[in-house]
A and B are shown apart, each in its own frame.
Chain A
Amino acid sequence: MKRIALLGMPNTGKSTFFNRLTGAGARVGNWPGITVDLLAAKILLAGTMVEVVDLPGIYNLHGFSDDEQVVRHFLESQAVNGLVVILNASQLDRQLALLLQLKALKLPMTLVLNMSDEAKQLGIKIDLAALARNLDVPVTLISAKYGQGFESARQAIEQLLHTHPAVIRADTAGLSQDDNIEVELDRIVGNTVNTPITLAPDLTRRLDRVLLHPWLGLPLFFITVFLLFQLVYGIGTPLQDAMNWGLEHIKTGLLQPALANAPLPVQSFILDGLFDGVGTVLSFLPIIVVFFIFMAIIEDSGYLARAAYLMDALMAKVGLDGRSFVMQLMGFGCNVPALMGTRVMRSRALRLLTMMVIPFSLCSARLQVFLFFTTAIFAPRAAAVVMFSLYLMSFLMAFLTALVWRGKYRSVEPLLLELPPYRFPTFKQLLVQGWQQSQHFLKGASGFIVGGVVVVWALTHYPFNVPPASPATLAGQLADWMVPVFQPLGIDRLLSVALLFGFIAKEIVIGALAVIYGAGQSNLAGVIAGKLDWVQAYSFMLFTLIYTPCLSTVAVLKQESKSYWFTFIAVAWPLGLAWVVSFAFYQGARALGW
């Protein structure tokens, strides 16, 4: 099999190029370190199947962070037909250094200068022919995002495959060689790149003047995030209502008549188990997709790097840094990629401490639970405040955790971070993002959510001769064991069963509740509101927020830390914290007479 690898400095558009070339859906974002693992796709190029590999960005061949190790390991272990080196055309003064270093690997290369659109705007002129001559490598200038010049890059790759039909290994001596390329770098850049001397203040500089303002920067950041959340609910809620309406009609108009003659347990299994359970989770699909589309806009805007700049001083006080904060924000979508994103950190201690706090980020799965409870229990105005308080708690718990554990995970890692220009995703990028998130969600729904719901149905309905979810059922007995733990938190028996399943994934919680209470997505809210007062509901939400996010998170904690002990702490600590916080809240609120 022929193989080519995409290599370059971080944030130069490798994944964008990869997506355009292969039609794959690699994650793209305006943050150095979005790709932290290999991603491969096979396509037909020059008449044969070729495996194209998207690699994490590297600054040089001597880096030791875990994402750079991925590249190193790839080069050491995999033979390739050649490398496609992707650099940012407007930053050749430093990025060409990487290409000069890569020459030591003695692999065939073709150079792709990306972001021609931005280089043009900056008035940068590159003499491509002279550059190719100087480097002795073919050069093409393209915009991977908008497509200009893309054909020429594809042809260059085909040409490379044509002239180098066999795969070869990199000369690994090149990985440890110390390079002295600065003189050559300056000479080549001086001969081939023409940059206007004075820069007109562009959009990025003007925006930064406001968004990074010494005193307005942070307040503006929080206002922006708050407004975005309002926007997500504003757009998402009507869509959710429409989804509910549709599901309800499927149930009453289609399923109920179709099953009218089926035996009762079968009816119950399909309607009260599968359909209510999965349907209730499904009704959150629209709002989650809207949420992820907005996340994609933020990730692509370049504002994340600014958030790191704004928060670094505060984060340093709890032993973390600006990047840790960005990973917390990414964790709002899903904790798993955020945990992987810490690979860019070179200090293991800093990395572990950051991985310890990320699971407190209120991810989209927990968001469903909270959206559900807040709308069921609180008036609309109060619901927004409650939601906000939960996000606040999420940060508080993270900072508290960092404070407690920073002594054990002490680090002094120099922080150097690019602040890329502001960018805006294309409409197509947003559609792809929305589509992928829906797929991800539906895949989850079709796998463990269905499984979880089925098990919960069985537990709450067996034995069949007693009322569902009564103390005599399996679920009832299970709940009995947990009473001593959850009663002091005001979490009733049936809710504790849902929490047990929430350990697998938070998406299951709402589905499980629908099954436990024998109510579909349209009337579950009413049932819950009748059973719980706000203190109990809030205590339940606090516990849900703080305890273990899901099994996938635990698996990734283990995979990334390579330590059972760390994984144990990272699971046990939040569990204990969740209990203590819920206990303090519930007993405190009751003592105050609420």
Chain B
Amino acid sequence: MHTSLDHLFPSQTGTIETIDVSPELGRRMAALGLRPGRRVEMVRAAPLRGPLQIRIGHTEIMIRRVDAAKINVNLVA
């Protein structure tokens, strides 16, 4: 199923398909492990539409929902 990263529920995993951001942000994301083909797990979401905690490999990062919405993923069953 295709969706964006901010729509995953905690402990769901997706494979990144595309990322629609500026080149600069794209490079920053890649440096943190966020690039097409990588698996990303939603760990938890902060209340009040706060940021998300996600995991790629052994890296955990926080990301705001607006930015996560620009990352398209394919849900891993």
> CA A414 – CA B56 in complex, angstroms?
18
B66 / chain A contacts, CB cutoff of 8 Å: 414
> CA A388 – CA B68 in complex, angstroms?
38
Say whether A414 contacts B25, CB under 8 Å: yes
> CA A336 – CA B34 in complex, angstroms?
34
> CA A76 – CA B39 in complex, angstroms?
36
Q: C-beta contact mask, B14-47 vs A, less than 8 Å → 1, else 0?
A: 0000000100110111111101010000011111
Say whether A214 contacts B47, CB under 8 Å: yes
Shortest Cβ gap from B14 to chain A (Å) = 17
> CA A322 – CA B24 in complex, angstroms?
21
Of the candidates B25, B32, B50, the one whose C-beta lies within 8 Å of that of A418 is: B32
A212 / chain B contacts, CB cutoff of 8 Å: 44, 46, 53
> CA A310 – CA B48 in complex, angstroms?
10
A63 / chain B contacts, CB cutoff of 8 Å: 27-28
Q: C-beta contact mask, A249-261 vs B, less than 8 Å → 1, else 0?
A: 0000000000000
B61 part of interface (Cβ distance < 8 Å): yes
A215 part of interface (Cβ distance < 8 Å): yes
B64 / chain A contacts, CB cutoff of 8 Å: 312, 316, 414-415
A498 part of interface (Cβ distance < 8 Å): no
Say whether A97 contacts B58, CB under 8 Å: no
B31 nearest CB neighbor, chain A only: A59
Shortest Cβ gap from B5 to chain A (Å) = 12
> CA A313 – CA B51 in complex, angstroms?
7
Within 8 A of B (CB), among A343-396: none
B25 nearest CB neighbor, chain A only: A414
Q: C-beta contact mask, A94-106 vs B, less than 8 Å → 1, else 0?
A: 1001100000000
Of the candidates A122, A217, A322, A416, the one whose C-beta lies within 8 Å of that of B32 is: A416
Size bracket of the A interface: 35 or more
Within 8 A of B (CB), among A187-218: 195, 208, 212, 214-215, 217
A309 / chain B contacts, CB cutoff of 8 Å: 46, 50-51, 53, 62
A311 nearest CB neighbor, chain B only: B50
Say whether B46 contacts A313, CB under 8 Å: yes
Say whether A91 contacts B31, CB under 8 Å: no
> CA A419 – CA B45 in complex, angstroms?
14
> CA A313 – CA B48 in complex, angstroms?
7
A436 part of interface (Cβ distance < 8 Å): no
Say whether B32 contacts A419, CB under 8 Å: no
What is the total number of residues of chain B having a CB less than 8 Å from a CB of chain A?
Answer: 33
A208 / chain B contacts, CB cutoff of 8 Å: 43-44, 53
Of the candidates A62, A91, A322, the one whose C-beta lies within 8 Å of that of B59 is: A91
> CA A415 – CA B46 in complex, angstroms?
14
Give the A-B contact count at a CB cut-off of 8 A: 105
Of the candidates B45, B47, B58, the one whose C-beta lies within 8 Å of that of A91 is: B58
Of the candidates B46, B48, B50, B61, the one whose C-beta lies within 8 Å of that of A416 is: B61
> CA A94 – CA B38 in complex, angstroms?
10
A91 / chain B contacts, CB cutoff of 8 Å: 33, 57-59
B61 / chain A contacts, CB cutoff of 8 Å: 416-419
A60 / chain B contacts, CB cutoff of 8 Å: 27-28, 30-31
A182 part of interface (Cβ distance < 8 Å): yes
B48 / chain A contacts, CB cutoff of 8 Å: 313-314
Q: C-beta contact mask, A293-335 vs B, less than 8 Å → 1, else 0?
A: 0000000000001001110111010000010000000000000
Say whether B51 contacts A418, CB under 8 Å: no
Shortest Cβ gap from B53 to chain A (Å) = 6
B63 / chain A contacts, CB cutoff of 8 Å: 414-416
> CA A312 – CA B53 in complex, angstroms?
12
| Residue in B33, B46, B63 with the greatest tally of chain A CB atoms within 10 Å | B46
> CA A217 – CA B51 in complex, angstroms?
13
> CA A380 – CA B64 in complex, angstroms?
44
Say whether B31 contacts A98, CB under 8 Å: yes
> CA A415 – CA B64 in complex, angstroms?
6
A417 / chain B contacts, CB cutoff of 8 Å: 61-62
Say whether B67 contacts A62, CB under 8 Å: no
A509 part of interface (Cβ distance < 8 Å): no
Of the candidates A64, A215, A305, the one whose C-beta lies within 8 Å of that of B47 is: A215
A418 / chain B contacts, CB cutoff of 8 Å: 32, 59-61
B43 nearest CB neighbor, chain A only: A208
Say whether A312 contacts B46, CB under 8 Å: yes
> CA A217 – CA B68 in complex, angstroms?
22
A312 nearest CB neighbor, chain B only: B51
Say whether B30 contacts A62, CB under 8 Å: no
B36 nearest CB neighbor, chain A only: A182
Say whether A93 contacts B29, CB under 8 Å: no
Please name 24 pairs of A and B residues whose Cβ atoms are closer than 8 Å in the assembled complex, sorted by A.
A60-B28, A60-B31, A91-B33, A91-B59, A94-B31, A208-B53, A214-B44, A215-B47, A217-B46, A309-B46, A312-B46, A312-B64, A313-B46, A313-B49, A314-B48, A322-B51, A414-B63, A414-B66, A415-B51, A416-B62, A417-B62, A418-B61, A419-B53, A419-B61
Known: A60-B31, A214-B47, A415-B63. 8 other contacts (CB 8 A): A59-B32, A63-B27, A63-B28, A94-B31, A98-B31, A124-B58, A214-B46, A419-B60
Interface of B with A (CB < 8 Å)?
21, 24-25, 27-33, 35, 37, 43-51, 53, 56-64, 66-67
Closest 10 CB pairs of A and B: A313-B50, A59-B31, A94-B33, A313-B48, A419-B60, A414-B67, A93-B57, A214-B47, A309-B62, A90-B58
Interface of A with B (CB < 8 Å)?
9, 59-60, 62-64, 90-91, 93-94, 97-98, 122, 124, 182, 186, 195, 208, 212, 214-215, 217, 305, 308-310, 312-314, 316, 322, 414-420
